[in-house]
Amino acid sequence: NAGVTQTPKFQVLKTGQSMTLQCAQDMNHEYMSWYRQDPGMGLRLIHYSVGAGITDQGEVPNGYNVSRSTTEDFPLRLLSAAPSQTSVYFCASRRPGLATEQYFGPGTRLTVT
Amino acid sequence: SQQGEEDPQALSIQEGENATMNCSYKTSINNLQWYRQNSGRGLVHLILIRSNEREKHSGRLRVTLDTSKKSSSLLITASRAADTASYFCATDSGNTGKLIFGQGTTLQVKP
């Protein structure tokens, strides 16, 4: 199993550009989440999904869109990038139910200039 | 605001010493999890403790949970240089799908 994969690994955007961060998992996990990590801020939840067709907002959803058309994929869209979105983005997945561990992807380092 | 807050933010110890990290949270939980992150990498699950458990062990790791104080601690015994990493607690309130992370403790273990 590849686990959780993310592409690209690195990305530089100009302010106002849009892009999609890709995330896929091959473990048949229903739950998937996107986090951003900034120095001194830990991980903050952007959006999450409990299954195909179901998404919800996390702690910092503004400026990001998600959709979940399949169990495997959970892309994160930046509609109009801003310098404040410079961060490292992590996708994660886990089985549904109580007390399940989360598996993380390797991250995407995004810089917005 | 984030659910978990960790203390200390940074910890530096010598190899062989024990390292203790604390996590406090705000709302009721179903379970609390600890993760480790090596520099530049994704997070890796270490240990999970349920709300009806008070203590759990896994190798050199010992986790305690005090739901009355809404706090948890992670103890790493006989630390090694390879334990150098950031450690995060994460709270799970139940079947919501959300796992909320704290700000983390950066541990440096000097050889």
Q: Which pLDDT tens digit goes with each residue over A67-98? A: 999 999 999 999 999 999 999 999 999 998 87
Residue from A109, A105, A102 nearest A31 by CA: A102
- State how far residue B25 is from chain A, nearest Cα, in angstroms: 14
Question: Residue A107: its chain B contacts at CB < 8 A?
Answer: 41-42
CA B67 – CA A1 distance, rounded (Å): 37
- Nearest residue in A to B91, CA atom: A99
CB A63 within 8 Å of CB A87: no
Question: Residue A98: its chain B contacts at CB < 8 A?
Answer: 30-31, 92, 94-95
Residue A35 scores a pLDDT above 70: yes
Q: What pLDDT, on the 0 to 100 scale, is given for residue B1?
A: 45
CB A107 within 8 Å of CB A6: yes
Residue from A6, A60, A11, A8 nearest A32 by CA: A6
Q: What pLDDT, on the 0 to 100 scale, is given for residue B3?
A: 62
Residue B98 scores a pLDDT above 70: yes
Amino acid at B109: V
Task: Name the percent of chain B lying above pLDDT 90.
Answer: 81
Q: Do A102 and B99 touch (CB under 8 A)?
A: yes
Tokens standing for B68?
């009355």
Q: Which helix (H) or strand (E) holds B45?
A: strand B43-50
Lowest mean pLDDT among A98-107, B13-22, B64-73, B74-83: A98-107
Q: What pLDDT, on the 0 to 100 scale, is given for residue B40?
A: 86
- What number of C-beta contacts closer than 8 Å exist between A and B? 72
Quickly state the pLDDT bin for B101 (edges 50, 70, 90): very high
- Nearest residue in A to B93, CA atom: A98
CA B48 – CA B14 distance, rounded (Å): 27
Residue B79: CA atoms inside 13 Å, Cβ hemisphere, count?
A: 22
Q: Which helix (H) or strand (E) holds B96?
A: none
CA A21 – CA B42 distance, rounded (Å): 16
Q: What pLDDT, on the 0 to 100 scale, is given for residue B97?
A: 77
Question: Residue A104: its chain B contacts at CB < 8 A?
Answer: 42-44
